[in-house]
C-alpha cells in the first residue's frame, strides 16, 4: 500500500502554530499556561546550541479511506544564529536537511538525490520562508526559532493547564491550546530546565481530524558541534534535482 502522504503530513505539524502574523493572548488563555510556555521558551532561547531526538506517532490516510498509524523518528542539531541539521527516518521517508547559514540542502539517501538553494543568514529568516521556497516543514519548527514563545502564542483562541503528567519517566506540566484549524498540546518538563518533552496536534480543519504526536528526548543544551555537522557533503553518484522532486523521490522510494 502506498503512503505518499507520509512526508507532507509528518512535516506539517508546526505550520498552523505560527501561521498568523499578529500575536493574540485573549482572556480565554490561562496566564499560568502562558507562563509555562514562557519558561520553556526562555530555556531554548538562552541555549547557544542544542540537540535532541524525536519519536512520532502519525496518522496517514490510506487509499481505502482509513488512517494508518506510522512511527517516524527524527534528530535535530541547532547552533545559533545560523546552523541547523535535521533528519527524518523510521516509518517516514528517509530524509536529511542541512542549513549552514548560506544554503539549505535536502537529501534523500534511499534514492541518492539532493537539492541546494540559497538561504537567508539566520535560522529565523530561513524557517519563515522554508515552506514556500522548498515545500519542507518541520514538526518541531516553533521550538527552533530564537523566540519560541512569540511563535507559539500567535493566534491562540484558548489555553489551559491540564495538570501534571509523566513523559518517559520525567515529570511534566501538560498544557492544551486551540488555534484556528488546530488543537495542540505540549508537555513541558517540570523544574528549572522546562524543556518540551511531547507535542500533540489534531488538525481540526482536515477530514477525519488527523493527529500526530511527537515525543522529544535526549536533550543536550551544551553539545559539541563541528561546522561540518551542518555542511552537506555530496555522496558519490548523487544527482541534483529540484527541491519538490527530492521530497517526491523520498516518498516514492518509501512507498515501495
Angle made by CA atoms 25, 214, 182, in degrees to the nearest 5: 40
Question: In this predicted structure, what is the pLDDT of residue 15?
Answer: 39
Instruction: Let me know if residue 49 belongs to a domain.
Output: yes
Position 44 pLDDT exceeds 60: yes
Contact 211, 9 (CB under 8 A): no
Position 34 pLDDT exceeds 60: yes
How close are the terminal C-alpha atoms of the chain, in Å? 8
pLDDT, tens digit (0-9, with 9 covering 90-100), for 95-146: 899 999 999 999 999 889 999 999 999 999 999 887 676 667 676 888 999 9
Question: In this predicted structure, what is the pLDDT of residue 20?
Answer: 36
Contacts of 188 (CB under 8 A, 6+ apart): 36, 37, 39, 40, 172, 173, 175, 194, 195, 196, 197
Supply the CATH number for residue 178's domain.
2.50.20.10
Q: Please indicate whether residue 191 or residue 253 has the higher confidence score (pLDDT).
A: 191
- In terms of Cβ atoms closer than 10 Å to its own Cβ (0-12, 13-18, 19+), residue 22 is exposed
Q: DSSP letters of 125-161?
A: HHHHHHHHHHS---TTGGGGSS-HHHHHTBT--EEEE
pLDDT, tens digit (0-9, with 9 covering 90-100), for 153-204: 999 999 999 999 999 999 999 999 999 999 999 999 998 899 999 999 998 8
Instruction: Let me know if residue 94 belongs to a domain.
Output: yes
Looking only at the bridges linking them, the beta strands covering 95-99 and 103-108 are antiparallel
Instruction: Let me know if residue 1 belongs to a domain.
Output: no
Residue 31 neighbours by CB distance under 10 Å? 12
Instruction: Let me know if residue 77 belongs to a domain.
Output: yes
Domain of 246 in residue numbering reads as 6-254
Instruction: Let me know if residue 15 belongs to a domain.
Output: yes
Position 23 pLDDT exceeds 70: no
Alpha helices per DSSP H over the chain: 6-10, 31-46, 123-134, 148-152, 243-254
Q: Please indicate whether residue 24 or residue 194 has the higher confidence score (pLDDT).
A: 194
How many domains are there within the chain?
1
Instruction: Let me know if residue 56 belongs to a domain.
Output: yes
Question: Is the alpha carbon torsion for 12, 16, 21, 24 positive or negative?
Answer: negative
Residue 12 neighbours by CB distance under 10 Å? 19
Instruction: Let me know if residue 203 belongs to a domain.
Output: yes
Question: Is the alpha carbon torsion for 135, 136, 139, 143 positive or negative?
Answer: negative
Amino acid at each position: 500500500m502506498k503512503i505518499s502522504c507520509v512526508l507532507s503530513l509528518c512535516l506539517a505539524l508546526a505550520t498552523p502554530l505560527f501561521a498568523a502574523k499578529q500575536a493574540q493572548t485573549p482572556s480565554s488563555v490561562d496566564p499560568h499556561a502562558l507562563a509555562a510556555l514562557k519558561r520553556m521558551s526562555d530555556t531554548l532561547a538562552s541555549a547557544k546550541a542544542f540537540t535532541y531526538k524525536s519519536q512520532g506517532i502519525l496518522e496517514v490516510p490510506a487509499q481505502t479511506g482509513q488512517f494508518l498509524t506510522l512511527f517516524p523518528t527524527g534528530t535535530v542539531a541547532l547552533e545559533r544564529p545560523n546552523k541547523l541539521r535535521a533528519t527524518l527516518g523510521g516509518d517516514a521517508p528517509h530524509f536529511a536537511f542541512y542549513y549552514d547559514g548560506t544554503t539549505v540542502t535536502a537529501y534523500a539517501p534511499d534514492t541518492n538525490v539532493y537539492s541546494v538553494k540559497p538561504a537567508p543568514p539566520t535560522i529565523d529568516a530561513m524557517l519563515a520562508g522554508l515552506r514556500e521556497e522548498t515545500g519542507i516543514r518541520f514538526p518541531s519548527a516553533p521550538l527552533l526559532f530564537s523566540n519560541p514563545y512569540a511563535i507559539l502564542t500567535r493566534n491562540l483562541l484558548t489555553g489551559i493547564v491540564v495538570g501534571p503528567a509523566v513523559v518517559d519517566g520525567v515529570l511534566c506540566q501538560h498544557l492544551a491550546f486551540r488555534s484556528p484549524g488546530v488543537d495542540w498540546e505540549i508537555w513541558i518538563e517540570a523544574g528549572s530546565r522546562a524543556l518540551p518533552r511531547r507535542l500533540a496536534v489534531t488538525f481540526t480543519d482536515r477530514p477525519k481530524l488527523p493527529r500526530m504526536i511527537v515525543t522529544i528526548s535526549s536533550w543536550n543544551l551544551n553539545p559539541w558541534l563541528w561546522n561540518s555537522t551542518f555542511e552537506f557533503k555530496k555522496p558519490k553518484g548523487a544527482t541534483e534535482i529540484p527541491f519538490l522532486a527530492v521530497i517526491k523521490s523520498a516518498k516514492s522510494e518509501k512507498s515501495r
